[in-house]
């Protein structure tokens, strides 16, 4: 069914995932406007540059911590995608206020702005980290209590709680997605980003945090963006005050060792680079070394994730290498290793 004319607002729309979502929103002729609110802390103009001639895309440099400045931007919006956040769980180790502000307070501000401007629907990017460190237990949406082991995960739990409360109290509708690990071109953080940057500096050695047996489910970013589009259709169909939660990750998991060896294989560096594994089972404190997520609820709802985790990793690596081969910006030292 075609989407009715819609005004979208995407927080964090200049980010890795947000920019892929915007590609899909702008590909839909029913889209009237896509309003991006981003402070460009990790977002990049380059991610949206290919849309510069589309008048439906309105990019606003906004700090979401400043509620009074945020509220006017929500006027006339039908559907929010809330993606802005601290993107990297490791950063919360150095700065313990980061996730409190970038997750909990920013999510509160988004919900409060929606309440004040009577915006009815939100799709939220949560994470499998909410389940905490439960080893290889396959997590499903009703598994609880949610006891995360990182401040990032704690911020996601708090945000989910706020969404539940705003829905019940003020009649909002929401879809919460708990993502696995998202990979693909325009990456700005994460394991593939780290490995490629290392190899660009020194192709002889690749250092892995932890013993490389950490294994998590991976999703290719454009598949995830398609899932977000599915989510907004589900959101529209919800009655007021209702919300629903879905894992968005394939069954199974991919090890860091697979990612390292697959990257070297695709680069043709298998005989050139020595991989140095650490000894710890975790990559860093708060890292959930093992994660398995049950995606049967999403599948039953009508969105089967199209690739297995290993397939997503291999495909994402090929897309990243292709993207890097044509990328002109090297502000972040992310470039094709030679
Ligand atoms: N990438 C993953 O593997 C993954 C996994 C699980 C969940 N998520 C969630 O998905 C969402 C998007 O992640 P991403 O990987 O695209 O990260 P990203 O860093 O590329 O995107 C986040 C965007 O939010 C913006 N932003 C951050 N704080 C802001 C603030 N205070 N005001 C305005 N803008 C702000 C950044 O500039 C950036 O453009 C996040 O909520 C993240 O927690 C990502």
Q: What is the CATH number of the domain that holds 239?
A: 3.40.50.720
Tell me how many domains the chain contains: 2
Beta strands in the chain (DSSP E): 6-11, 31-38, 57-61, 79-82, 121-127, 138-139, 173-179, 181-183, 205-208, 215-216, 218-220, 243-248, 254-255, 274-277, 292-293
The answer on 139 and 274 residing in a single domain is no
Q: Which residue has the tokens 């001639």?
A: 53
Percentage of the residues of the chain whose pLDDT score is greater than 70: 99
The answer on 148 and 261 residing in a single domain is no
Flag whether 50 is in a domain.
yes
Ligand 1 pocket mutation pick from 14, 17, 90, 152 by most atoms within 8 angstroms of CB: 17
> Confidence class of residue 2 from pLDDT cuts 50, 70 and 90?
low
How many angstroms does the Cα of residue 164 sit away from the middle of ligand 1?
Answer: 21
How many angstroms does the Cα of residue 69 sit away from the middle of ligand 1?
Answer: 20
Nearest CA-CA partner of 13 in 21, 4, 25, 24: 21
How many angstroms does the Cα of residue 204 sit away from the middle of ligand 1?
Answer: 32
How many angstroms does the Cα of residue 322 sit away from the middle of ligand 1?
Answer: 23
The SS3 call for residue 83 is coil
Taking the whole predicted model, whether its pTM rises above 0.95 is answered as: yes
The answer on 129 and 37 residing in a single domain is yes
- Per-residue pLDDT of 222-233, as tens digits, reads 999 999 999 999
Residue 318 has pLDDT above 80, yes or no: yes
Please report the atom of ligand 1 found closest to the CA of residue 128: 6
Distance, in Å, from the CA atom of 72 to the CA atom of 99, rounded to the nearest integer, reads 25
pLDDT, position 125: 98
What is the arithmetic mean of pLDDT over 29-49? 97
pLDDT, position 1: 53
Q: Which of the residue ranges 101-115, 278-292, 306-320 would you say has the lowest mean pLDDT? A: 278-292
The answer on 20 and 83 residing in a single domain is yes
Residue 332 has pLDDT above 90, yes or no: no
The answer on 202 and 178 residing in a single domain is no
The answer on 193 and 176 residing in a single domain is no
- Per-residue pLDDT of 85-123, as tens digits, reads 998 888 889 999 999 999 999 999 999 999 999 999 999
The answer on 240 and 104 residing in a single domain is yes
Flag whether 338 is in a domain.
no
- β-strands 292-293, 121-127 pairing: unpaired
| Domain boundaries, position 131 | 6-182+218-248
Residues having CB closer than 6 A to ligand 1 are 12, 14-18, 37-43, 62-65, 83-85, 87, 102, 106, 125, 127, 179, 181-182, 188, 190
The answer on 242 and 163 residing in a single domain is yes
Strand partners, 8: 34, 79
Query: Which phi and psi (to 5°) does residue 208 adopt?
Result: -105, 130
Strand partners, 173: 121
How many CB atoms neighbour CB 260 within 10 A? 21
pLDDT, position 9: 98
Nearest CA-CA partner of 34 in 76, 64, 68, 91: 76
Nearest CA-CA partner of 254 in 177, 185, 192: 192
Q: Which residue has the tokens 């009237």?
A: 32
How many angstroms does the Cα of residue 268 sit away from the middle of ligand 1?
Answer: 32
């Amino acid at each position: 069914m075609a989407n009715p004319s819609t005004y979208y607002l995407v927080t964090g729309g200049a980010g890795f995932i947000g920019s892929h979502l915007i590609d899909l929103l702008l590909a839909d002729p029913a889209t009237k406007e896509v309003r991006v609110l981003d402070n460009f802390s990790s977002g990049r103009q380059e991610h949206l540059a290919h849309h510069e001639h589309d008048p439906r895309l309105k990019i606003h440099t906004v700090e979401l911590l400043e509620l009074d400045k945020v509220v006017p931007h929500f006027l006339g919006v039908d559907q929010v995608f809330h993606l802005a956040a601290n993107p990297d769980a490791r950063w919360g180790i150095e700065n313990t206020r980061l996730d409190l502000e970038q997750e909990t307070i920013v999510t509160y501000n988004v919900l409060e702005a929606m309440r004040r401007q009577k915006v009815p629907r939100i799709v939220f990017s949560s994470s499998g980290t909410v389940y905490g460190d439960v080893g290889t237990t396959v997590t499903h949406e009703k598994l609880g209590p949610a006891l995360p082991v990182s401040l990032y995960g704690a911020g996601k739990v708090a945000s989910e709680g706020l969404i539940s409360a705003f829905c019940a109290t003020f009649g909002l509708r929401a879809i919460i997605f708990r993502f696995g690990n998202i990979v693909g071109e325009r990456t700005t953080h994460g394991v593939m980003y780290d490995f490629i940057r290392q190899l660009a500096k020194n192709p002889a050695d690749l250092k892995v945090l932890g013993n490389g047996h950490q294994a998590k489910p991976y999703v290719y970013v454009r598949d995830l963006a398609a899932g977000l589009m599915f989510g907004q259709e589900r959101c529209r169909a919800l009655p007021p005050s209702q919300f629903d939660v879905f894992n968005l990750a394939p069954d199974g998991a991919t090890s860091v060792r697979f990612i390292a060896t697959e990257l070297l294989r695709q680069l043709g560096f298998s005989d050139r680079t020595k991989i140095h594994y650490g000894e710890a089972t975790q990559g860093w404190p708060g890292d959930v070394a093992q994660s398995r997520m049950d995606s049967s609820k999403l599948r039953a709802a009508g969105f089967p994730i199209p690739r297995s985790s290993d397939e997503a990793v291999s495909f994402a690596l090929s897309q990243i290498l292709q993207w890097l081969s044509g990328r002109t910006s090297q502000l972040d030292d992310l470039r094709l290793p030679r």
